[in-house]
Amino acid sequence: MAPGAAEPGLAESGVSEPGAPRELQTLRLQRHREHVLHVQLNRPSKRNAINLLCWRYWDTEVDMGLAADVGTLQRLPKIVGSQSLVNELAFTARVMRAPEALSCGLVSRVLPDKDTLLEVALEVAVAIAARSPVAVQGTKVNLVYSRDRPVSEGLLHVATWNMAMLQTEDIPKSVQAALDKKGPEDVPFAKL
């Protein structure tokens, strides 16, 4: 497949019933670097880039006579840390724009346009891919595990996890790279 070419069989024909939803129009996969793929979905009915002009958070179940049932009520209070803000958004279906989402911690940054978003996202992906896959996966597992547990339980879990991972070759390779004043991108880490 040529770089930037749409994956065969994943593009819609463009012919649909009047009023029928068209979720996925095209999917494009590009290899940015080793271990870093850029996956681009073109969904005209959805917003694909988070930026000041188009991003918003909006939970509309309350407008339909329902309580939010996709995890919003369970997850959002833990993310933003403000029960009163969550209550307001959930009870009123008020739209939250990007600057407010940034100020309350719902998003980590807001970028001016799609090109900048893609550039920054790929830089982050490259930085993550340069690290030990064992360490990145272990960090992810422990972040998720610790999210809803006391600190002492999370510390015990990560200590147990790290004891089990001491067998990986990535630790001595990382130590040697640090001694040689090399970055993680210079280390041939083991595969998962």
pLDDT band at 76 (very low <50, low <70, confident <90, very high): confident
Any domain includes 90 = yes
Separation of alpha carbons 5 and 179, rounded Å: 43
Closest CA to 42 of 65, 8, 10: 10
Would you state the pLDDT for residue 67? 79
pLDDT band at 11 (very low <50, low <70, confident <90, very high): very low
Any domain includes 31 = no
pLDDT band at 5 (very low <50, low <70, confident <90, very high): very low
**Residue span of the structural domain in which 91 resides:** 56-103
The model's pTM: 0.64
Any domain includes 162 = yes
Domain count, the chain: 2
Separation of alpha carbons 66 and 33, rounded Å: 45
What is the mean pLDDT of the segment spanning 163-167?
86
Q: Is 27 helix (H, G, I), strand (E, B) or coil?
A: strand
pLDDT at residue 156 greater than cutoff 90: yes
Would you state the pLDDT for residue 34? 75
99 and 60 within one domain: yes
99 and 61 within one domain: yes
Look over the chain and give the mean of its residue pLDDT values, rounded to a whole number.
78
CATH assignment of the domain containing 166: 1.10.12.10
Residues with Cβ within 8 Å of residue 151, at least 6 apart in sequence: none
What is the mean pLDDT of the segment spanning 16-44?
62
**Long-range contacts, 86-92 (Cβ 8 Å, 24+):** 89/57, 89/59, 90/59, 90/62, 91/62, 92/62
Separation of alpha carbons 43 and 78, rounded Å: 29
